[in-house]
Amino acid sequence: MSRLLAPAIQYAEQGFPVTDYIACSWQESLTALIDEPGAFRSTFTINGRAPRKGEIFRNPDLARTYRILAEQGRDAFYRGELAVAIDGFMRQNGGWLSLGDLSGHASEWVSPISSSYRGYEVCQLPPNTQGVTVLQILNILEGFDLRGSGFGTPETLHLMIEAKKLAFEDRARWYGDPAFAKAPMERLLSKKYAAKQREQIDPFRAAARYDPASAIVGVGDTTYLCVADSEGNMVSLIQSNFRDMGSGIVVPGMGFGFQNRGELFALEPGHPNIYAPGKRPFHTIIPGFVLRQGSPWLAFGVMGADMQPQGQAQILTNIIDFDMNLQEAGDAPRWCHEGSSDPTGGVMTAGGRVSLESGFSYEAVWGLMTRGHRVRSAIGVYGGYQAILRDLETGVYYGASEGRKDGAAAGY
């Protein structure tokens, strides 16, 4: 652990130059978080403002926390001095996170869920994540000739948007912590169910609502990365503090803020995602993975809360249906549909709204509008994409990182 944390400790102590994108997002988050109790202001601002582009940011408190973890291991956080400090701070400030909560926590290994798409096995994590949504979207789309209708045409865009809307209805109805409520996973992922869902799509008209049933498209503090080694092992990983920079709650001397994913609980009695003690909320972060011929082939992710499943579906159709290479698949213009029913209780009643990046044609925009979609250009959350693909014949890796966010593809 000391070896793994050494580079992070060095950056925390000596600092790093803040990039343009991060500096902008950092400043946008300050208004809501700067007056939260604790050490947010002293930890994450420079004289009350966000660090500017190119300015060196240091976090010596985080370096200290990492040193404690390097020397004492995970128990320092869940049972040791860090846990005691968190417990004391929460008691003083009216928080509910206790030493008992931390010491009682246990992480778990879970088996991935998967579904085939045109001969590729697409893998996701099960609820309480939204990974099932990607598989449901692809199952619906598999019955349409996307290659024939073409990338970026109004026909293709309409079918993909409607498939997203249908899958999000199930997301709103069924997803939650499986320890408290079991989603009918076998039915949701069956090709028979996908065929039934597909029949609901009118090829010439956008639906104002779908059965079953103010949606949230979160803008989160999310980081995605993927790595691969010389033996063909591949890892797809994503983590997030959720909205903005998380809760803004920073225990003095620790250098990190707590997440605010509890915002995504529902308060509707009987809902699978209703708030309860010891329960995990629905969450949006989903690392993507694809097998080909039973072997690891593609590790990828698209950051951006509710954009993640619709973004992943777009990446996979770009590669599989439209023959784009790994970089082209991420650089291609994206659409983002907002306003679906959501797991916190919101219900779609007016069909939502579609945002399109500027790379789509006028004909595509007009074609969606004539089908009844409410369309706006450019403004929207389009995510951030990274990927590694392995050529199964040669063992050669291909890496991709798009320009919507910071990131890079690198080999060592």
User: Which residues are the active-site residues?
Assistant: 222
Residue 282 vs residues 177, 194, 266: alpha-carbon distances, Å: 7, 23, 9
Cα–Cα distance, 87 to 305 (Å, whole number): 29
Cα–Cα distance, 303 to 369 (Å, whole number): 27
Cα–Cα distance, 10 to 58 (Å, whole number): 10
Are the CB atoms for 245 and 44 separated by under 8 Å?
yes
Are the CB atoms for 139 and 194 separated by under 8 Å?
yes
Q: Is 178 left (phi over 0), alpha (psi -120 to 50) or beta?
A: alpha
Are the CB atoms for 288 and 320 separated by under 8 Å?
no
SS (H, E, C) 231-272: CCCEEEEEEEEEECCCCCCECCCCCCECCCHHHHCECCCCCC
Peptide bond into 296 cis (omega under 30): no
